Each structure stands twice: as C-alpha cells, then as structure tokens.
Amino acid sequence: MKSGTLFWSDMKVKQIAKIEKGGQPEVLVGSGLDLVEGLAYDWITGNLYWVDSRLNAMEVSRRDGSGRMVLLNNNISQPRGLSIDPFKG
C-alpha cells in the first residue's frame, strides 16, 4: 500500500483490476482468465504475477496490464498460491 494501489482478481467476472488511492477501479486483464487464485505484485520491477488454477498457468504482466506473458503452463496442476521475493533478484 506504499504506492496507494490495490490489485485484486474477481472470479465472477474473470478479471484482474486495480484501484489507485482516490481513483476509480481499472480493469488490467479482462480476458483469457478462468480462476485466478494467486496474485502478487513486485513493487521493484512493477510486474504483476498470477496463477490460474483452472488453466494451470502462471502469468505476468506490467503494472498496467500490458506485456502479458505466460511463464509456465506445462507440468503444473491447479496452482493456488503465489509468493514473490523481489529482494532475491
């Protein structure tokens, strides 16, 4: 919350969104999602990471939702959580 931004996933509408302090909600990822169960923001690089347990995938995008990329979607089964440690590189 140091930057005043909150990120979340909405399983009902299958979106990832954010809200800046004093602002309006903004959809970052509005398609290609099913059941996002883990979401993490790396405040150093500005990357947003998530896992989708129904699509069996781990993905990343920039803070604004651009540059979306699948990091892992093979040999992964129902990922449910995600933790990052930006200080370790």
Please list, in sequence order, all residues whose beta carbon lies within 8 angstroms of the beta carbon of residue 62, skipping any fewer than 6 positions away. Answer: 46, 47, 48
* Backbone phi, psi, residue 19, to 5°: -140, 130
Report the alpha-carbon distance of residue 75 to residue 47 in Å, rounded. 23
pTM of the entire structure?
A: 0.89
Q: Which one is the CATH code of 5-88: 3.40.630.30, 3.30.413.10, 2.40.10.500, 3.40.50.300?
A: 2.40.10.500
pLDDT in tens, the chain (89 residues): 677 899 999 999 999 999 999 999 999 999 999 999 999 999 889 999 999 999 999 999 999 999 999 999 998 888 888 888 877 65
Tell me the three state secondary structure of residue 86. helix
Decide the pairing of beta strands 5-10 and 69-72: unpaired
Contact 18, 25 (CB under 8 A): yes
Taking the domains of the chain in order of start, what are their residue ranges? 5-88
